[in-house]
Structure 1
Amino acid sequence: MLTNNTKMSALLRTPQDEAVLILSSPKRREILKEGPPQNIRNNILGKGAYGTVIKAVYKAKPVAVKIVKNLGDCNHQTMRNESHVLGWKHANIVRIFKVEITMNFAIVIMERFLGHSLQKILDCMELPLKHRVYIGLDVLAALMYCHKRNLLHMDVKPKNVMITWGNNNENWSNKCYTCKLCDFGSSVKITEQTTAVKGIIKGTVRYMAPEALKEEYLHSSADIYSLGMTLWQMKYRHLPYDWLECNEIVAYQVVKNNLRPTACSSQKAANNNNQAIVPSSRQSCYSKTLVDVSKNSLKNVQNILKPPKTTLTSSKGNFDGNHSQKSIRKPFEDLNIVAKSSENVKCNVSRANRMYPDTMFQIGDEAIYVDPIKEQKYDDLYIKCWDNDCSRRPSGKDLRRDLKELL
């Protein structure tokens, strides 16, 4: 029988044999002039519209290097924002060692470790309450550190939370990992004389607070709102508002009608429409920023309800995420699994509360016990975080206290 820590360990470990790219001064100048080096396929950690992230070694330390083509003021500002945390040392923030910007390319050199993003973890496994709380506390510690130094992150979401195996600083016996907040490209600096800032923010629309969508004055409570969305997603494993196709609709409904994500709405979408949609085909939709949305007209926007697929796909073949036989289900044998469903694999907590005082759900080879009372308190916490009135959202200290009470 596999334990939570065994499964998490298997997911976070990565191969040790890799080609070494030394980031000497000449090599950095070459990258800044010509872009990512050729023949580095095995060194690529990620690639997308933002640029390329590769593995390398800098001053005898394993690092990740983000290489971004300098296409205009927007990219230029993003790279400058990354430098807000340059040289910071905090256990829950990915360290930035160097930021260099030229007319052609820009690079960010940051720490590298064994692990994956929280989004990938959620795509592969369900998290019991205690681990959702552990992760929430780690992210909150990073945010409180930023806020104390007059910095708003403004893009808190599972993709920007890295989970690395080991380094448990809280002395929790069943926590063998550390969460690190990354990607400060949307961060905003607040001056010591003010407690708020106003302007166009680049955060991801589906995690943004209403005041950010309206380009109003922003406080640290805007990050608390995004953390609340992340707490919700850790429980239900849906992308926020996954029953809505367009970010324009999401932004409008959040601002005008106080829309918030619910597991019930996602399930109704699945029940009302038999046509499946692959999340990867909507990736650009979920990652769009407010700047991207403002460029599009709402004239022809439609509210499209489409259900998620119910299968997972890997190099070993397809299998049903809910009904696979234990004898053939090997969740972490192949780490190239692509999640085709963000469907919640647990029963609704209120339903569990009606049926059993303490309900056990079997997930893969591991039993997960659900305490309906604590789950309801967890729900109440993230609902407080996304209150439409930013003054009624909990402070970092209050949220930390309430999360610890769930352990």
Structure 2
Amino acid sequence: MDLPSLSFSPERCADLHNRLLAKSIEHLPARRTERNLVARFLDAAPEFAEIPSLPELPLYRFLALLDTTPIFPGRVVDMLTPYMYQPDPTIFWSEPFEDEPSFILLYAQNSGDAPMDGGVFLDIVSYKAVWHERDFLTFPPADQWLPLEVLLQRSLDAWETGKFYWDVGQASMAIRSWTQNDVEEALVAWNRLLSSIELRISSGTGNAPHRLEPLSSESLAPFNISTFAAEFLTRAQRPGFSFNAPGINTFTPELFVVTYTAEAPGSTRQTRWLGDSGDEDWPTLLFPGIDTVPLDVSDNPNMYINSFDRDWGFGKFTVNRQSGLYVIADTKYSDVVRLIASSGLPNACEFRHRFAWGPPRDPKLAEVLRHWASLVEEGTWSVDSNGVCTDHEWFNTNTHVAKVPPCLD
């Protein structure tokens, strides 16, 4: 799908919306639907009725095809997905964003903030869409907006993969912290990274390294690690070389035991979860770096590095200050990761710019591994018989390149 040339189709987008609505009420057989959004829109914005050939406008055609559930007196509109509400024309131009008259808040957010403070905005000139919240202050530039069809399809995919599901106990839609699809995506990306490095090694030496068996569940069992991390590590083949990224190793069974055994039993990492999803979501070191973070980083002039040991810093959630790639526990995404460089820099694997198709989050493991594979394939990282041989300092001096571009593959 060529995203830049994907033109707005009221019919395709309405079909995706209506399929999402059907998912949201599948377990509520008494809930009926109606098609009256155009009337509600003209009640909220009567000046649009004066536009010549109004029914030919893409926005009108789109709204005319949308199913919604009835709004009863004293109630807000119902949910479309766990993240967002159905369209509500009375807040299309909500107060925090009324200085952008071509942007309408099509799907308001479901979060701790008020719905009208953010969600999916649609530009009714370009018909591109983006997730935006008041805390961001300014909208992202036009080249970071996506076709509305893409955002709706991502939500539908979340149902298909089991990310969204119906919680019988709560009688509502809910979000799984991770699914088998997340594991499979990460494994595919991991195999791509290993294959890319192996190809570079074999082209230089004539010999391709052999893969090794994954870590065993028995070796992981004594330690507090996340369920997603355990699933990945016990299925991911280990490479026959040392470095899968600059200064980043892969655990051997012996190194894993030594690293986690040395951790104090009462460490903050093991006693305080970053999430409350109910899964065992301890922050977990997946790929260790070559060094630990120094003890004096609080004096570092870099604001990101000197926050390492502060109350809001990530230092307390590391394994004995060990650098490397960590799975960080999140209430909605247990497969998001953070790279802690040996300097203490925590942001080298953040997204390069704002996440466009949903609420803000850190990059998922699969997204980081795909980016690392591209850095090997493009020749950005050097490779020798030990794997990636670019110095670990690269993450500190090339942070923008290290950051992950939010892509849709």
TM-score w.r.t. structure 1 length?
0.23
Pick the structure with greater CA Rg.
2
